[in-house]
A and B are shown apart, each in its own frame.
Chain A
Amino acid sequence: MIRLPIEERANWEQKAREYGFKFHTMYGEKYWDESAYYQFTLAQIEEGLEKPTEEIHQMCLHLVDRVVADEVLMRKFRLPEAQWDFIRSSWLNKAPSLYSRLDFCYDGKGPAKLLENNADTPTSLYETGFWQWLWLENSVDAGKLAHSADQFNIVQEKLVNRFIELKAHNPGEILHFACCKETEEDRGTVQYLQDCAEEAGIECRFVYIEDIGVDVHGCYTDLDDIVITWLFKLYPWEFMLNEEFASFLTASRVQFLEPAWKAILSNKAILPLLWEHFPDHPNLLPAYFDETSAAQHLSGSYVKKPVFSREGANIAMFHNGQGIAVSDGPYGEEGFVYQALQPLPKFGSSYTLIGSWLIDNEAVGISVREDSGLITKNLSRFLPHVII
């Protein structure tokens, strides 16, 4: 795993406009960065990332089975009691899932360590599945990379195939897509998913989360008063479960993507539970529910993460008891978990994080993010990668 500089494609910004990639620059900062790329060996990809990704995913599914059957754990996961049955039945009915992203600390040498599981609302999918793929094709065509250069990225192919499978579960149904207003990145991600679903022959409609309505029978509706029966929502379950319209979740009988049981996987409380059930697993970091155990076992070097948090918000890092990094944000009221400190590897002046994607249960590709700080956030740069 090495970081190599490369000449940018001369026309990439124009291409981005053509292909609808609007958020390559955010708040005046570069988000898509093709001035360099990461190079992996096939063994690093297959043994170092692909295998652990599928294994950890299975371990997590095993734990969902435990959590839904255990009220003490449901409480530890801060899931609202009123929705326990709803979450539980989504699991017991095997409500199908679409995708996830596991974030790893990986330097190409030691075992990849799981930092968290973005199982509910992962973004940066378009950049992964389409945009970095295009970068590789263009760079090979321009003679800047060898013809043998490959990429771990079957994301889009598998995504379309998964939608074809899901279509068979919901014959003739319209699939609604939803995200929040004024979120260019989320809107782009949802549009990409919708394109893939349409490619699979599914009829799709879009509605903003804030515009979803409820009719007299307690069915959810879009702005044209069409009943929503199947919904992809790029909106965290932990928000939805606590909002006013949550009271209609069960009765509406909507098929959700991701399903409600993903509220357990994407929850940071899964980290200490994983460590409890699979202690010393090479791809896990020690993690605890309380600060006392963390201080005792982790000798003052740990990361405090909110049970619910997105995009690296409200994280605090301690080294030998001293705070070394902190990020602010709107999360944390539901409590925290404590994970052993494993600083991200540094390549040049950047700290690097690997996102490893799953479609259903299958590892399908990776994305590389860089930040000048230790905490990866939503503005951290996205860099392409190759396998040589």
Chain B
Amino acid sequence: MKRSKQVLIPRLIKSPSFALKSLAVAVSSVLAVGCSTKEEVYIFKSIEECDASGKFTEQKCETAYRKALQEAQKTAPRYKNLKDCEYEFGAQNCQEQKSTAQSFFMPAMAGFMVSQALQGSNYGSSHYYNPLFYHYDRGYSRYKSPKWTTSDGVTIGNSASSKASVRKGDMKPKPAVTRTMSRGGFGSTVAAKTSWGGGSKKSSWGG
């Protein structure tokens, strides 16, 4: 047979999208009750600490660290001035980042969490690591001890903990949210070419 065995996947059948969505929500909330939503993670402050723990191979430690650091660059909270950043994350814990248009401050990654599930796995498509930051609840003081916190502000445990149980969602990568400075820099060719043909609507720019 030279054709797909099956293409009638219900997802492809278009119903009004809100109906589909509410169905999807209902299904997942049912699942949430029956299935484990927690996941065990190890917390490390450095690659060395990860190696020394003997929980993961050297290579996995290094990859997890590197990926978490990349993730931190993308998703760590950003502040316009140093003071605001240090209020949340402590003195000496914030770095200035410069880009072409503007500079801003973000907390340095203080550690990273690695899912226990990585022990038996070879990466694959799941997400096994995320950056962590030292966060000071209601403002930094040198008499307080910080808590481990994710990019989007979920507290994982106090700064002494090296193991934690987190919601599965906390191990997912966070979409990087930012501030858009300008829009409309793509599409100008089409705007120019649409005027051809008496401005009649074009059904496609593909082919």
Contact = CB atoms under 8 A, between A and B. Distances in A.
B177 A234 contact: no
B101 A243 contact: no
Interface in A155-197: 155-157, 167-168, 171-174, 179-186, 189, 192, 195
B125 A186 contact: no
Nearest to A50: B2
Contact of A171 (B126, B179, B181): B126
Interface of A: 18-20, 23, 26, 42, 45, 118, 121-123, 129-130, 133-134, 136, 150-157, 167-168, 171-174, 179-186, 189, 192, 195, 198-199, 201, 208-219, 221, 224-227, 229, 234-236, 239-240, 242-245, 310-311, 328-331, 365, 378, 387
B182 A153 contact: no
Interface residues of B, number: 53
Contacts, number: 202
24 contacts: A20-B13, A133-B7, A156-B7, A157-B7, A172-B125, A172-B127, A172-B172, A179-B205, A181-B187, A184-B203, A185-B203, A198-B11, A199-B9, A212-B186, A215-B181, A217-B100, A235-B187, A235-B205, A244-B186, A310-B205, A311-B206, A329-B196, A330-B196, A378-B203
A212 B201 contact: no
A244 B12 contact: no
B193 interface: yes
A211 B184 CA distance: 6
A153 to B, nearest CB: 4
Given A26-B203, A225-B177, A154 B2 contact: yes
B203 A133 contact: no
Given A330-B193, A330-B196, A216 B187 contact: no
B175 A157 contact: no
9 pairs of A and B residues whose beta carbons are closest in the complex: A245-B185, A20-B14, A213-B180, A123-B206, A239-B189, A210-B187, A244-B185, A330-B193, A227-B176
Interface in B193-207: 193, 196-197, 201-207
Contacts of A174: 175
A150 B5 CA distance: 11
A208 B185 CA distance: 12
Given A195-B11, A330-B196, A243 B207 contact: no
A189 B173 CA distance: 28
Contacts of B204: 123, 183, 185-186, 189, 310-311, 378
Nearest to A23: B203
B66 interface: no
B2 A227 contact: no
Nearest to B185: A245
Contact of A234 (B5, B185, B205): B205
Nearest to B127: A172
B142 interface: no
Nearest to B126: A171
Contacts of B192: 330
Interface in B123-155: 123-127
Contacts of A331: 193
A180 B203 contact: no
A243 B187 contact: yes
> Which of A122, A180, A211, A224 has the most chain B CB atoms closer than 10 A to its own CB?
A180
A180 B205 contact: yes
Given A157-B5, A214-B181, A227 B205 contact: no
A154 to B, nearest CB: 5
B59 interface: no
A9 B139 CA distance: 69
Contact of A236 (B104, B188, B197, B205): B205
